[in-house]
Structure 1
Amino acid sequence: MLSDDLSRIDLAALQALVAVQDRASFSDASELLGVNQSTISYAIKRLRKAFNDPLFVRQGNAIVATDKGDQLAQQARAILEQMAAISSPSGFDPATAEGTVTVSCNHHERMFLIPDFLRRAQREAPNAALHIFESAVDGKQQLKENTCDIVLGPVSILGDIYYRRKMFSDHYACVMDQAHELARGALTLERYCASRHVAVTHNGRWEALYFAALRAKGIELEPDVTVSSHDILERLIPGSELVATIPFRLASRLSDRLALRPFPMDVFIQIDMYWTERTHHSGLHRWARQILAEVAEKNLGDEDLRSPKKDTRKPA
């Protein structure tokens, strides 16, 4: 039988617990949930009493969870996800549906999925609000904090509360100025490594997959330039000595002023879609996920991935 203190714990208290763990701050948690800080403090006080543990302690300028606090927050998150799923209406008609769908992704996915997704979604569900966020490397955290509903990207998000669906595949290619020496002759690994490189790093927080493939061959590539996103490359590369190694699908869309050559190694890129239990049974979100999958299948089936994996041209 539950104690009196434990029986008084409600979902609002569990929300407060999860918010404090995610934000490591009572004030930030109150802002996230749209309540007063005193409400958060009172909820945590009740939880501390019910579970006979401080749950959170101050460490320097930060608030960190105790072992029991971390365990409880994980359980609370699962409960909240399940309650949200149960409360979702089973019937769904996109023509009359209201609500919000937030998709988090980066330049690669925005180029090939988002335009057609938005056009179709707005046509079929005119009353639904659609938001597109930048994920950078924060997709898992955004899902965890419920600031987005769907994450798209070449990432691996592991855990019992996450669902995954494969979307499309890609591989790397190189782009450079038309006058660059690598635009002529065989692009060997030796010539590639001897060139000057520009890399996309999402403000230094992301490393493209080809770096690990190069390291597996004992090659430590040091870019001469790093940028936060792919969208600047079309203006940065012309007239320079820089070589960018980017997904082929993006490379093929760049200006005709740039030369496109196969990357001298086979490095596979898998773009997946992730979501959580919170939206898994929601009619609106299930419909949105299906549209994204259909757009990917229509526009980005592997039969469209026609870049040669090997450089078959003879040296000039």
Structure 2
Amino acid sequence: MGDKLIGRIDLDGLQVFDAVMREGSVTRAADSLALTQSAVSHALARLRLILKDPLFVRTAGGVKPTPRAINLWDEVQDALQVLRRAVLPGEFDPFTARGTITLAVNDMIAQLLMPKLVQQLQDQAPHLRLSMPMRTFGESELRLEQGTLDFGLGLFYALQPSLRRRSLWTDDYVCLCRRGHPALAKPWTLEAFQAVHQVGVSPNGDLFTYADGALRYAGIERTVTILVSHFSCVPPMLQGTDLMALMPRFYAGAVADHYGLALLDPPFTLSPVKYELVWHERSERVASHVWLREQLVTALGRTEP
């Protein structure tokens, strides 16, 4: 749309269009907006003229949107939602809310913890879209600063002062390997751990993984011979090989039985890892974001004070 076209479309007209799309009827749309049918019809007539499209076709049960109207509606809903948040930041009705919220997570968290959140959103906010791009170190933080990402969930280190964080749960690392692995029949020492070939997980392909960060802090090196970008790749690799992986305990416990794997505590002490929810200060009081933060806490059910 050019600037002249945008200038000719008023906010009232877009709200009328949105209401007719939602209700599928001019009469019901007029009732929902507390307008006369004549006012709704005139608003639609203006939009038809400006957009050069009929937008709706009359049917026995109401009106049917044209392909142009269907394509336009997603953008109109998102734009209206942004405007409503800006003008009425304290008002938020999840059941009628529309728009998209982006939450960066890795595949491990998406696989094990997000299904419960998705169910909550389906029940309480059926029109709200949740986009979950891959959480990658550095890039997610940059996107939060730029405003192209709403939340990040995972392990975070030093953050810019403009980013807010909330602790969700703390976990520790365990060694994961196949049942019958040769290491299980020998003394489990630091030297034995370092001698075993291991699988490392790095979403952005860096050789230095989160687990290696914890190890290096403890002054320990390991032998990584396979590096993958997804946690879900690891269990099948361990199932039929003598490889080992250093995994978060909550994930290792969830997949061990299915793949016939064994959990082994490391022969040394590592600092626990803290999973956090991170967002930018600009959205600190945005009602929809406040609501989603609480949904995440409820869905995960492992929140710390």
What TM-score do you get using the length of structure 2 for normalisation? 0.65
Matching residue of 1:273: 277
- Following superposition, the deviation at residue 278 of structure 1 comes to 2.8
Distance 1:85 1:188, change over 3 A: farther
Matching residue of 1:264: 267
- Following superposition, the deviation at residue 122 of structure 1 comes to 1.8
Paired with 2:218 and 2:89, the residues of 1 have a C-alpha distance of 53
Q: Report if the CA contact (8 A) 1:151-1:274 is conserved.
A: yes
The size of the alignment, in residue pairs, is 218
Distance 1:90 1:222, change over 3 A: same
Equivalent residues in 2 for 1:102-251 (5 A)?
Answer: 102-137=102-137, 138-205=139-206, 207-216=208-217, 218-251=219-252
1:262-309 Cα distance to aligned partner (Å, 9 max, x none) = 12233211000011123221111111111001222x2x368xxxxxxx
Q: Report if the CA contact (8 A) 1:92-1:283 is conserved.
A: yes
What TM-score do you get using the length of structure 1 for normalisation? 0.63
Matching residue of 2:54: none
Q: 2:291 aligns with which of 270, 287, 290?
A: 287
Per the alignment, in what secondary structure is the counterpart of residue 192 of structure 2?
A: helix
Q: Report if the CA contact (8 A) 1:201-1:228 is conserved.
A: yes
1:187-234 Cα distance to aligned partner (Å, 9 max, x none) = 221211111111112242363344244335544323111111111112
Distance 1:234 1:220, change over 3 A: closer
1:55-107 Cα distance to aligned partner (Å, 9 max, x none) = xxxxxxxxxxxxxxxxxxxxxxxxxxxx9986552111112222221111112
Distance 1:90 1:190, change over 3 A: same
Distance 1:265 1:85, change over 3 A: farther
Instruction: Give the RMSD, CA atoms, in angstroms.
Output: 2.4
- Identity %, equivalent residues: 28
Q: Report if the CA contact (8 A) 1:203-1:227 is conserved.
A: no
Instruction: Point out where structure 1 has 5 or more consecutive residues left out of the alignment.
Output: 1-82, 303-316
Per the alignment, in what secondary structure is the counterpart of residue 252 of structure 1?
A: helix
Paired with 2:133 and 2:285, the residues of 1 have a C-alpha distance of 22
Instruction: Point out where structure 2 has 5 or more consecutive residues left out of the alignment.
Output: 1-82
Per the alignment, in what secondary structure is the counterpart of residue 149 of structure 2?
A: coil
Per the alignment, in what secondary structure is the counterpart of residue 264 of structure 2?
A: strand
**Larger Rg belongs to:** 2
- Following superposition, the deviation at residue 244 of structure 1 comes to 0.5
